[in-house]
Structure 1
Amino acid sequence: MTKWAAPVVGVIALIPGCGVADRYSAPEAGEPVPTTEVFFDLTDTAGPTGPAVRNWFDLQPGECIVDLPRVELGEAAVTVVNCTTPHSAEVYLRVPIAVDTAIPDTANEQCAAGLPAYTGQAVESSTYTMTYFVDANQDRTFRNPRPSTAICLLQAEDGSSLTASARR
């Protein structure tokens, strides 16, 4: 049984001509979907001066955030902290997703597939719940088949604060 929190979907419009249309190329038939896994030094995730505020769509794997933003209300800012500081969620994967996919199905599938590599736990036995944001930074052209990004996050199954990184 997969444990999922409600997905958070945000939409960011791309101004045509900004140069991201060629960032991804279409995979060949049967080729796995490309993922972006960037890990940070968890002893200095938020920088030497403490917590850092940034936009949720800039979050990278290995970063821990104090609270999930209420994207549906237009909140974009999140507070990134060192993962040893109490936090509500940790980013574990960014994965490009196609324009014309069923976003919840695709994001759920991709996020679930990335959890074991990050935590060392199978989805079925994980002590975490998973959620995601969708950054729809896209221009909807044929040249950019994967313009959206699912940003996968994990949280404590019981809703409590985390005080360490989930990365194995």
Structure 2
Amino acid sequence: MTVYAYADSPLGAMLLVGREDDAGARRTGLVSLSVPGQKGAPVVQDGWRHAPGAFADVVAQLTAYFDGTLTRFDLPYADTGTDFQRRVWRALEDIPYGETVSYGQIAALVGATGAGVRAVGTAIGRNPLLVVRPCHRVIGADGALRGYAAGLDRKRLLLGLEGAAAADPSVVAGALVGTPSP
């Protein structure tokens, strides 16, 4: 059965979605963590059960992360996605707190070349576990903040929370804010 709950955060009300077995005793893990307005975010469906207690550990770890006392999540989650997506998502989990890497660096880690680099960006964009799998730590090769399903303002907020050098608010998608585009 699919269960869900909401958790307050600096990013907005996060929707947590998970699965449990029919007996309701064993959780198979977090399936999705999203925020309002996020591209591709799930919507609560008929038949889903509201179960805030099922996510107590998730909420506790999110709270500690946003308080600055947790730098790495340790949560059970349901592995979704294709084999390629799961390889990319595992690479995201290895990016240290407060550091950033480029899309090209992630592509190299998973052995993607040529058109595969674009597929890496697509896989990162489809990451169902916002914050927990730190796709916000992936930036452009030029240091610019690029593509974040929850919006660049939220990406900037998360990087700033972690003290990442790429949190510079003047750099977004390779252009200086306030400077006209060519």
TM-score interval, smaller chain? under 0.3
Structure exhibiting the larger radius of gyration computed from Cα positions: 2
Task: Give 1 or 2: higher helix fraction.
Answer: 2
Q: Which has the higher contact order (CA 8 A, sep 6+)?
A: 1
The TM-score with structure 1 as length reference comes to 0.27
Task: Give 1 or 2: higher strand fraction.
Answer: 1
